[in-house]
Amino acid sequence: MSDALRDRLPNFEAGHVWLVGAGPGDPGLLTLHAANALSQADVVIYDALVNEECLKLASSDAQLEYAGKRGGKPSPKQRDISLKLVEYAQAGKRVLRLKGGDPFVFGRGGEEALTLVEHSIPFRIVPGITAGIGGLAYAGIPVTHRDTNHNVTFLTGHDATGIMPDAIDWAGVARGSKVIVMYMAMKHIDTIAKRLIAEGRPVDEPVAFVCDASTDKQSVLETTLGDAAKDVEASGLKPPAIVIVGEVVRLRKGLDWYSALKDGHSLVPDPLGVRSKGESA
């Protein structure tokens, strides 16, 4: 980073909290603001989805504190994490709350920021690349493509209690969204798939599970809505995962650049079989 650019980045002031998105995993997807925050922070409180390679950008003097939440495992309560941010800031620390993906996309960043407001703590939000877009891009799956869809729905596969959220209008999602991107849905995929099929989605509609997206451990399972539950169980894949439902999954045969660069396999120029000889407008 040039000195001229570095000088234009904000100063991380004592007693402030920055809520920063670390992206889906690849450290190269950190924003300049995120890297700047890591270089200045006194305390870095990071979650379970942050690639620890990102933490190597932190100052050698920084205090690194894990505050990850994992379903079914002992985890700190959200209120306690929020209040810890307040405590460190009130002690005059520069506090970086580092979250996988984006803080405002199923990241509870809003909850934490409102706690800071409650205690008059100044803060900054630094958006990150959410896994539902960036992670799928590393799997060669675009969330929109004009030959398949003009809308996309992002949803979470479980609510605050850990069960499939009843507050979602599943019938409306099934009928109204050509592409569905689901966070934290692997655990309930059997129930979710059956619900979507009952609401009219085709049994053979393409589905993909992308685990450890954008990292060296990335793995992708392509299946169908009808077979999703049994196939993911047979695969042995574990969260974190992004699940996508829709015809865009078929584009992976042509757009799986990440795997192609690693193993040299050929990509298909017309995975949907819709391209004409001439370029469309």
Q: Among 119, 108, 120, 129, which Cα is nearest to 34's?
A: 129
Q: Which of 69, 178, 187, 194 is catalytic?
A: 69
Note if 184 is an active site residue: yes
Q: Where in the chain is the domain with CATH 3.40.1010.10?
A: 3-129
pLDDT given at position 169 = 95
pLDDT at 124: 98
Does the active-site annotation cover 99? no
Residue 47 is among the residues annotated as catalytic for this protein: yes
Per-residue model confidence (pLDDT) at position 72:
57
Categorize the per-residue pLDDT at 167 as very low, low, confident or very high, splitting at 50, 70 and 90: confident
**Residues 181-192, mean pLDDT to the nearest whole number:** 95
Is the domain spanning 132-274 CATH 3.30.420.40? The answer is no
Q: Distance of CA 65 to CAs 31, 62, 236, 245, Å? A: 21, 10, 30, 36
The residue from 26, 93, 182, 184 that is catalytic is 184
Positions of CATH 3.30.950.10 in the chain: 132-274
pLDDT confidence band for 71 (50 / 70 / 90): low
Q: Which CATH architecture has domain 3-129?
A: 3-Layer(aba) Sandwich (3.40)
Whether the full predicted model's pTM is greater than 0.75, yes or no, is yes
pLDDT for position 68: 84
Within a 10 A sphere around the Cβ of 49, how many other Cβ atoms? 21
pLDDT the model gives residue 276: 63
Q: Residue 116: which pLDDT band, with cuts at 50, 70 and 90?
A: very high
pLDDT of 31 strictly over 70:
yes
The pLDDT of residue 161 is above 70: no
- From the list 20, 18, 23, 16, the residue with the least C-alpha distance to 49 is 23
- Please name which of 95, 125, 104, 91 lies closest in space to residue 19, comparing C-alpha atoms: 125
**Arithmetic mean of pLDDT over the chain:** 93
Spot the catalytic one: 26, 42, 47, 256. 47
Q: Residue 85: what pLDDT?
A: 98
Structure token pair of residue 33: 């603001």
pLDDT above 80: residue 281:
no
